[in-house]
Structure 1
């Protein structure tokens, strides 16, 4: 496997994303209130109990599936293994998909009773960047 600039960019993006997921999603999967205190999750006062259940579901899914898949894919791809390319492709598909779901939920919930998310700006900055990074990484791995 050729380790060109795209390889190194993908590794950098992937490990940065993995670190972000561990901090922002894995910790709240064990203790959602800690995630709220850390500022990585929204409280029920802001997004309702249903909103926190939705966010918690993503945190748990990330902990059990996405984080291990991304980690294994990055290591396998680093080692030049075919299975690494497959696992990393799966993880990058998730990377492109889930931010779109979250943004759609934020937009759809704007007029829902109890939804008080005043500042959507961080979501509109971070989530499209993650989607673009995932889509680019998927393109890079599969070319």
Structure 2
């Protein structure tokens, strides 16, 4: 019963996150302005060239490593493969790590010259939810594996 609940607790939000990353983050790695047009990245004029470079770097890491790893881990878990747990655990670890890094950046940059996030509250709502989900999912994987 607990394993079945954990499966769905990981799969449903996991695939929603995967789709979001594919739609919102990955295109910005190819061309940052696409993310700005989609409303998923901040314009350089609001966050400075360094802020743009930071967000682009996260988008690039999402494109080449994190999004494929998450998709592979979720697919492996859905198929019941033996390698799914370590792959999914790695992806969930990244899912805990990058929101913390992003929120630390937002907090440290607040008030810096040239830095202005009109939707900063959105970061403080969405990213802790993602971090909490991923932390609980990772804990469940470790305890039930």
Q: TM-score, normalised by structure 1?
A: 0.95
1:112-131 alignment, distance < 5 Å: 112-131=112-131
**Number of equivalences:** 142
Give the ranges of 4+ consecutive aligned residues of structure 1 lying more than 6 Å apart after TM superposition: none
Q: Find the aligned partners of 1:30 and 1:108 in 2 and give their Cα distance.
A: 27
Q: Find the aligned partners of 2:122 and 2:45 in 1 and give their Cα distance.
A: 18
Structure 2 match to 1:135: 135
Q: Find the aligned partners of 1:121 and 1:102 in 2 and give their Cα distance.
A: 13
- Which stretches in structure 2 are left out of the alignment for 5+ residues? none
CA positional deviation for 1:4: 1.2
Q: Find the aligned partners of 1:75 and 1:17 in 2 and give their Cα distance.
A: 13
Structure 2 residue 83 is matched with structure 1 residue 83: yes
- Which stretches in structure 1 are left out of the alignment for 5+ residues? none
Q: TM-score, normalised by structure 2?
A: 0.94
CA positional deviation for 1:3: 5.0
